[in-house]
């Protein structure tokens, strides 16, 4: 059934992964060295593309999980896969924020780095609700 509490959690996770990501900053760099700027821009573009693709995959997987409500076991598995994707995102974003220099170059870390934590919490709560529904169905089947 689509009108369950896990649907709300999954919609919020999808909105954060798919929409809020484009509204907040992850980090900003200001470099004066032209060669260093070109090298960092090339590596940053690849990193930004991989981060963007991972966030889009996470959002689409959350939406797919919502509409896969007839198979709760599959919903649970997709929720765990989505959690793993967000742990990957969290690791990449935190490692990038730790590699930003703060001495000679001006760098600023944004709040967007912590969005995967919010998504992980929402996905864990959704998986908890899915597990609760599955246990309820199993207990009713035992009585028949």
Helix, strand, or coil (residue 110): coil
Per-residue model confidence (pLDDT) at position 1 = 55
For residue 44 the two structure tokens come to 């940053």
Per-residue model confidence (pLDDT) at position 36 = 45
For 104-127, how does the pLDDT look when each residue is reduced to its tens digit (9 = 90+)? 555 566 677 888 999 999 999 999
Per-residue model confidence (pLDDT) at position 33 = 46
The model carries a pTM of: 0.81
Question: What is the domain partition of the chain in residue ranges?
Answer: 8-136
Tell me: pLDDT of 128 over 60.
yes
What DSSP line would sit under 7-58, residue for residue? HHHHHHHHHHHHTGGGTS-SEEEE---HHHHHHHHHHHHHHHHHHHHHHHHH
Mean pLDDT computed over 65-80: 91
């Amino acid at each position: 059934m689509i009108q369950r509490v896990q649907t709300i959690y999954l919609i919020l996770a999808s909105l954060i992964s798919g929409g809020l990501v484009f509204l907040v900053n992850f980090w900003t760099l200001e470099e004066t060295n032209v060669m260093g700027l070109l090298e960092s821009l090339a590596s940053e573009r690849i990193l930004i593309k991989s981060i963007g693709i991972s966030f889009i995959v996470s959002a689409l997987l959350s939406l797919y999980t919502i509409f896969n409500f007839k198979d709760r076991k599959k919903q649970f598995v997709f929720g765990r896969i989505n959690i793993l994707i967000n742990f990957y995102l969290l690791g990449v974003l935190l490692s990038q924020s730790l590699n930003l220099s703060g001495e000679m170059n001006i760098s600023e870390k944004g709040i967007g780095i912590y969005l995967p934590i919010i998504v992980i919490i929402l996905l864990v709560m959704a998986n908890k609700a899915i597990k609760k529904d599955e246990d309820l169905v199993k207990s009713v089947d035992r009585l028949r």
